[in-house]
Amino acid sequence: MLRRQEVYKQFIDQTSKCYVHALQHGEAEADISGLVTLYALIGRMRITSTPKVVGIADQITRKILDSYLAPDKTFLQLREMVNSESIDIIGEFSEACREELESLRALQL
């Protein structure tokens, strides 16, 4: 369970970095090494995590890739994304991880 938590933490940290970069830079400046790190973390998740967690992680990474193809966001657009909560791309992932970890804890009791 601790290994899963560490992988999830790393994925959330790397996702945050890659998403912010994607919102501010076009495809010519894509953070390829950061994206490869995300796919490596998803690969690690495929070994131990539920299909739901892996599926959501994959969707997040695709959204980041799509963000590189969209126009760069201005500060005002980023503010609006924060206000509308559309900037939060990891919320569903975090919830799925929490559910998975709680079910594992219940099995250990």
Global pTM value: 0.90
For 17-76, what is each residue's pLDDT tens digit? 999 999 999 888 999 999 999 999 999 999 999 999 999 999 999 999 999 999 999 999
Question: How many domains does the chain divide into?
Answer: 1
Question: What is the reported pLDDT for 46?
Answer: 97
Question: What is the reported pLDDT for 22?
Answer: 95
Task: Tell me the one-letter amino acid at 19.
Answer: Y
Domain with 83, as residue range(s), is 2-108
**41 and 14 Cβ atoms separated by less than 8 Å:** yes
Q: Is 26 left (phi over 0), alpha (psi -120 to 50) or beta?
A: beta
Take residue 53 and report the two structure tokens written for it: 């967690």
Q: Where are the alpha helices (DSSP H) in 25-69?
A: 32-48, 51-69
